[in-house]
């Protein structure tokens, strides 16, 4: 039986740590850390994610503000909002909920955020810092995966990690983090994608297999070597025969769990870690941890 790595439990501990960090910050500064969230349009999933983020903030004592703009908002309006927040010292962290409506250029918007307030870690400056090993904001999902490995006593150093997926928000930054010459890294990383000719050839050699492809249950027992650690980043809503729906990961849990030494569930695995790391990044922003490097 595999060890079930509970993101719910680890994230709860992290939230408690952030809560105590916030209390110390408030005592010293006389104010709360602040996170502003921008939601453009009425995508129901985005609405839900933003509400969860605000709820998480409230739980640990971070002040959050949700600014809603209509789906018809222009790119200039979005940029103006970000400029105001960049200049406001009470706004420590800025998050623009993605996806944006199609007429708004996501890259332009993300580049507009002050890198010192970029708690999602999507600004090219922070992405570049991650690549060359300088301190900066790390996107919440890869940061969460590394943190959950660390807190579960799984050291990637010297191990072969296969990451299935190369998106800018999950696969690529995670591969960079794990390959870095530092604690929590030092792994030999293979990044797989749709151009990979024989996926199983690579995943079967992995001591740690991370699935971040967005394809429901694509990783089966045919892809996993006995004793591997399996981290499932995927969150996919699938239809059931009775007309309802459920959320599954990218890993076929029932066939992989008996083989793995440790595995994350979906839900309750990487998802809660992502939410917790946003709080951690917001505290970094409030404390100005990366400020000197960002100016």
Ligand X SMILES: NC(=O)c1ccc[n+]([C@@H]2O[C@H](COP(=O)([O-])OP(=O)(O)OC[C@H]3O[C@@H](n4cnc5c(N)ncnc54)[C@H](OP(=O)(O)O)[C@@H]3O)[C@@H](O)[C@H]2O)c1
Counting contacts by CB under 6 A, is residue 119 touching ligand X? no
Give the 3-state secondary structure of residue 60. Answer: helix
Q: What span, in angstroms and rounded, lies between the C-alpha atoms of 152 and 5?
A: 7
Q: What span, in angstroms and rounded, lies between the C-alpha atoms of 285 and 136?
A: 10
Which member of 114, 120, 232, 250 is catalytic?
120
Cβ contact 220:211 at 8 Å: no
The C-alpha angle with vertex 170 and arms to 13 and 135, in degrees rounded to 5, equals 70
Q: What span, in angstroms and rounded, lies between the C-alpha atoms of 63 and 58?
A: 7
How are beta strands 34-40 and 93-96 bridged, if at all?
parallel
Cβ contact 113:78 at 8 Å: no
- Of residues 34, 121, 173, 234, which one binds ligand X by CB under 6 A? 234
* Interface positions, 157-196, toward ligand X (CB under 6 A): 164-167, 169-171, 192-196
Q: CB of residue 249 vs ligand X: minimum separation in angstroms?
A: 8
* Interface positions, 134-153, toward ligand X (CB under 6 A): 141
Which member of 97, 172, 207, 232 is catalytic?
97
Counting contacts by CB under 6 A, is residue 204 touching ligand X? no
Residue 76 CA: distances (Å) to CA of 70, 252, 254: 13, 44, 49
Counting contacts by CB under 6 A, is residue 97 touching ligand X? no
Q: CB of residue 75 vs ligand X: minimum separation in angstroms?
A: 22
Q: CB of residue 164 vs ligand X: minimum separation in angstroms?
A: 5
Quick one: 93 or 234, whose CB is closer to ligand X? 234
Name the residue whose CB lies closest to ligand X.
167
Q: CB of residue 211 vs ligand X: minimum separation in angstroms?
A: 8
Q: What span, in angstroms and rounded, lies between the C-alpha atoms of 284 and 19?
A: 13
- Of residues 2, 123, 271, 279, which one binds ligand X by CB under 6 A? 271
Which member of 21, 53, 180, 250 is catalytic?
53
Quick one: 33 or 144, whose CB is closer to ligand X? 144
Active site residue 97: yes
Residues in Cβ contact with 285 at an 8 Å cutoff, skipping those fewer than 6 apart: 33, 35, 92, 93, 116, 117, 119, 137
- Of residues 235, 255, 289, 293, which one binds ligand X by CB under 6 A? 235
**Site residues, ligand X (CB under 6 A):** 141, 164-167, 169-171, 192-196, 199, 212-215, 218, 233-236, 270-271, 274
Active site residues: 53, 97, 120
């Amino acid at each position: 039986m595999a060890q079930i790595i509970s993101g719910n439990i680890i994230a709860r501990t992290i939230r408690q740590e952030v809560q105590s960090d916030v209390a110390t910050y408030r005592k010293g500064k006389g104010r709360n850390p602040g996170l502003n969230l921008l939601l453009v349009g009425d995508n129901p999933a985005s609405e839900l994610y933003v509400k969860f983020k605000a709820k998480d903030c409230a739980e640990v004592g971070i002040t959050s503000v949700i600014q809603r703009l209509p789906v018809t908002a222009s790119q200039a309006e979005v940029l103006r909002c970000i400029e105001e927040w960049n200049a406001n010292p009470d706004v420590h962290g800025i998050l623009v909920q993605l996806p944006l409506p199609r007429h708004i250029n996501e890259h332009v918007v993300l580049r507009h955020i002050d890198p010192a307030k970029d708690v999602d870690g999507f600004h090219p400056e922070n992405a570049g810092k991650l690549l060359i090993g300088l301190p900066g904001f790390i996107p919440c999902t890869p940061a969460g995966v590394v943190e959950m490995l660390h807190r579960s006593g799984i050291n990637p150093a010297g191990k072969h990690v296969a990451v299935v997926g190369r998106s800018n928000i999950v696969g690529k930054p995670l591969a960079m983090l794990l390959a870095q010459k530092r604690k929590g890294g030092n792994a030999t990383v293979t990044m797989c994608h749709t151009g990979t000719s024989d996926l199983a050839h690579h995943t079967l050699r992995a001591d740690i297999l991370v699935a971040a492809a967005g394809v429901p249950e694509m990783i089966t027992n045919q892809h996993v070597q006995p004793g591997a650690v399996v981290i499932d980043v995927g969150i996919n809503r699938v239809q059931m025969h009775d007309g309802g729906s459920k959320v599954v990961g990218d890993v076929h849990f029932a066939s992989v769990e008996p083989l793995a030494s440790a595995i994350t569930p979906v839900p309750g695995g990487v998802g809660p870690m992502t939410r917790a790391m946003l709080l951690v990044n917001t505290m970094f922003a409030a404390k100005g941890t990366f400020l000197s490097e960002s100016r």
